[in-house]
Amino acid sequence: MLEGKFESASLMKRLVEAIKDSVKLCNFNCSQTKGITLQAIDDSRVLLISLKLDPGCFEGFRCDKNLVLGLDLESLSKVLKQGNNEDYLTLIAEDAPDNLLVVFEDPKKDRISEFSLKLMDIDSDVLSIEDMDHDCSITLPSSDFAKVARDMRTLSESLQILVTKDSVKFMASGPIGTGSVIIKAHTDLKDGKESIKIDLNKSVNVTFGAKYLNDIVKASTLAETVTIKLTNKIPALFEFKLQGGYLRYYLAPKFDE
Amino acid sequence: ASNQTSLMSFFGKK
């Protein structure tokens, strides 16, 4: 039996909103030691999502037997919208489940709502992603990155990212003209989360599809900062750290013809 | 113009 209780429903609500536009059907893997993990690839095979919710992400977590919960994220989103952000959220499944039980309790315990969601058999490819060495790592406020990704998409379908020792340059070029945004490394002593950190082994020049970057920045509601790991000509990693877990996106680059 | 690559050309299936 699986019983995972979140201190507040808002984490799951934000997670599902962040990924449901990229992937529709996902297998949630549940185990006592690993908690809940998920790997899903978008239909175009360009963007991969990897989620880890350690047992420590939960107020209470119990999973007697490893389980795979195949869920339609559209449906899960509909159910999660029924609960308030500050409600307790508990996910419950039997050992060979046909359904996932989703229970919301308001903190005053005078309202309990229960939903049963049908599970699906989902046949999906799982890719083996080893820890990669990257040419550079950038950590910046997730809202800053979201703004650049959204703004630059209005200029072009592609966003070029150039990283040097102390700055990151985002460039877009399209039918109406060109644009660039330069972000410089700095340390904010008052608020560390506002700092911009660049670790560089080698300068990087990579291009990504703006559409995918706009999907990725939907996760900026989950973490105040995002870490972007880039290497020339290989997929980039975008990581949003959660308390006791992470949401990672791997994005295949675009190459010049 | 630039071509979109696929993750499948970088990562193997498990």
Return d(Cα A194, Cα A55) in angstroms, integer: 29
Judging contacts by C-beta atoms under 8 Å, the chain A residues touching residue B9 are 252
Asked whether the predicted pLDDT for residue A125 surpasses 90, the reply is no
Judging contacts by C-beta atoms under 8 Å, the chain B residues touching residue A207 are 2
Judging contacts by C-beta atoms under 8 Å, the chain A residues touching residue B2 are 158, 207, 254-257
Nearest to B3, CA basis, from A233, A148, A179: A233
Is the Cβ pair A235, B11 closer than 8 Å?
Answer: yes
Chain A nearest C-alpha distance from B1 (Å): 6
- Taking residues A116-135, report their average pLDDT: 91
**pLDDT value, residue B1:** 60
Return d(Cα A162, Cα A160) in angstroms, integer: 7
Q: What angle separates helix A73-80 from helix A10-19, to the nearest 10 degrees?
A: 150
Pairing mode, if any, of strands A25-31 and A67-72? Answer: antiparallel
Mutate to test the interface with B, among A129, A233, A237 (most CBs of B within 10 A): A129
Per the listing, tokens 């890719």 go with A127
Asked whether the predicted pLDDT for residue A129 surpasses 70, the reply is yes
Asked whether the predicted pLDDT for residue B2 surpasses 80, the reply is no
Q: At residue A110, what is the residue type? A: D
**pLDDT value, residue A239:** 98
Is the Cβ pair B2, A234 closer than 8 Å?
Answer: no
Residue of B nearest to A211 (CA): B4
Is the Cβ pair A256, B14 closer than 8 Å?
Answer: no
- Taking residues A222-242, report their average pLDDT: 97
Separation in Å, CA A66 to CA A2, A32, A35, A159, A248: 9, 7, 10, 41, 22
**pLDDT value, residue A163:** 98
Is the Cβ pair B7, A254 closer than 8 Å?
Answer: no
Indicate the range of A42-46, A61-65, A127-131, A199-203 predicted with least confidence: A127-131
Separation in Å, CA A257 to CA A38, A67, A203, B3: 34, 44, 21, 6
3-state secondary structure at position A222: coil
DSSP A47-67: EEEEEEE-GGGSSEEEESS-E
pLDDT in tens, A156-215: 999 999 999 999 999 999 999 999 999 999 999 999 899 999 999 999 999 999 999 999
Asked whether the predicted pLDDT for residue A14 surpasses 80, the reply is yes
Is the Cβ pair B2, A207 closer than 8 Å?
Answer: yes
Question: Confidence band (pLDDT; 50, 70, 90) for A257?
Answer: low
Chain B nearest C-alpha distance from A45 (Å): 6
